Amino acid sequence: MIRLLNADFTRLRKNKLFWLLSIFSIGLALFMIYTQYSDMKKYGEVIETEQLMINYSTIVGIVIAIFTSLFLGVEYSDGAIRNKISIGHKRTNIYLSNLVITTITSLFSYLLFLVIVSSIGIPLFGGITMSISKLLKLLGCIFVTIIAYVSIFTFLAMIISNKTITAIVTIMLAFGMMFYSLMAFDRLSQPEYIDTMIMKDGVQEIINTKNNHYLEGEKRKLIQLSIDIVPAGQMF
């Protein structure tokens, strides 16, 4: 297991995809800071640094899907897994080694994003306004969600031998979970009652009526449960 990890870390350091992921994290942080700073100067908006810290989490599933599928897909296309098995490594150890590598890489990319946002955002926009305990809980939730994403995509990358199919499946799944969570949150956020304008004796009146789109009972519980299970549901 240790030898597998050493070999995978060596491959990771030489992998262009890893460095592209790092550059992307830095670039995204700088882009967000720039756009928010421009809005602050133009419109006088109050920018919260902690909000910038968690913005990356909305797309992190897609980023992890791309990295995991391409990085681990090479294991099959280059025959690396076959070679590892032939020299005596167990499939379980190979899987765990890949899981550890992709988890560390994904967490590192987010931590890199946090460092850039914190080091530049705090001097520009001011200190953290949220309580530290609440911020740590949010960051902890994001870290756990990242691990959940990595676990799902690593599993798929290890059972699908074709790199192209792996990339398509994982990326589509990431988008699917994200859009489903957005739609589910939209349904759950519907108010139970809404104001409706009617005409009565030639006079407009506003009455409070039941919202037909409001979810109730078991259906609401089921939608809420699905959001709690899907990793993307923790990001909104």
17 and 67 Cβ atoms separated by less than 8 Å: yes
pLDDT of residue 203: 67
Nearest-CA neighbor of 230 among 182, 168, 166?
Answer: 182
pLDDT of residue 143: 93
pLDDT of residue 202: 63
pLDDT less than 70: residues of the chain: 78, 199-203, 236
pLDDT of residue 108: 95
From its phi and psi, is residue 217 left (phi > 0), alpha (psi between -120 and 50) or beta? Answer: left
Calpha distance 74→163 (Å, rounded): 7
pLDDT of residue 104: 94
pLDDT of residue 228: 85
CA distances from 180 to 50, 141, 191, 235 (A): 25, 19, 19, 12
pLDDT of residue 99: 93
pLDDT of residue 236: 63
